[in-house]
Chains A and B, each alone.
Chain A
Amino acid sequence: MTIPLRTPDGRWRLWPGLALIAALAAGAAAASGALGRYELNVLTTMLCYLVLAQAWNILAGYGGLISLGVSAFAGGGAYCVALLASHTGAGLPLTLGAAPLLGALAALALSVPLLRLRGDYFTIGTLAAALALQAWVYNWDFAGGSVGLSVPIARSPDLAQTYLLACGAATLAVGAAYWTAYSTFGMRLRAVRDNEEAAAGLGVPTVRYRLAAFVLCGALSGLAGGLIAYQQIAFEPGGMLGPGWSINALLMCVVGGVGTVAGPVVGTLVVYYLLTTLLAGYDAVSLVVEGLLLVLIVRFAPQGIWPLATRYAGTLLVRMRRTA
Chain B
Amino acid sequence: MSAAVVLNGILLGGLYGMSAMGLSLVFGVLRLVNMAHGAMLVLGAYLAVLITAGTPLPLPVAGACAVLLAGGLGYVLQRHLLTAMLVRGANGPLVATFGLSLIASGLVALRFGSDPVSIPTALGTAGWSLWGLDVRAAYAVSFALAGVVAVALHLTLSRTRLGAAVRAAAADPRTADLIGIDVRTLYALVFAVASALAALAGLLVGVAFSVSPQSGTSYLLIAMAVVVLGGIGNVLGTFAGAILLGVVQTLAAAQFGGGYRDLVVYILFFVVLAVLPRGLFGRRLT
Give residues in A with beta carbon < 8 Å to B.
60, 66, 113-114, 116-117, 119-121, 123-125, 127-129, 131-132, 135-136, 138-139, 243, 247, 250-251, 254-255, 258, 283-295, 297-299, 302
Contact = CB atoms under 8 A, between A and B. Distances in A.
B155 interface: no
A136 to B, nearest CB: 6
Q: Which of A128, A132, A138, A255 has the most CB of B within 10 A?
A: A128
A294 B277 CA distance: 31
10 contacts: A113-B270, A113-B273, A121-B273, A125-B273, A135-B262, A243-B217, A247-B98, A285-B110, A291-B101, A298-B99
Contacts of A285: 106, 110
Contact of B266 (A66, A128, A289): A128
Contacts, number: 133
By size class, the interface of chain B is: 35 or more
B102 A291 contact: yes
Given A113-B274, A132-B263, A66 B224 contact: no
B274 A291 contact: no
Nearest to A258: B91
Contacts of B101: 291
B110 A66 contact: no
Given A113-B274, A284-B106, A124 B224 contact: yes
B263 A135 contact: yes
Interface in B88-123: 88, 90-96, 98-107, 109-110
Given A113-B273, A120-B31, 16 more contacts: A66-B90, A66-B91, A113-B274, A116-B277, A125-B273, A132-B270, A135-B260, A135-B263, A135-B265, A138-B259, A287-B103, A290-B102, A291-B99, A295-B96, A299-B85, A302-B85
Contact of B274 (A66, A116, A119, A294): A116
Contact of A292 (B84, B99, B269): B99
Contact of B99 (A136, A258, A295): A295
B99 A128 contact: no
B191 interface: no
Most B-side CB within 10 Å, residue of A117, A123, A288: A288
B124 to A, nearest CB: 27
B3 interface: no
Most chain B CB within a 10 A radius of its CB, from A131, A258, A291: A291
Nearest to B103: A291
Contacts of A139: 259-260, 263
B50 interface: no
Contacts of B103: 287-288, 291-292, 295
Contacts of A284: 106, 109-110
Contacts of A243: 217
B225 interface: yes
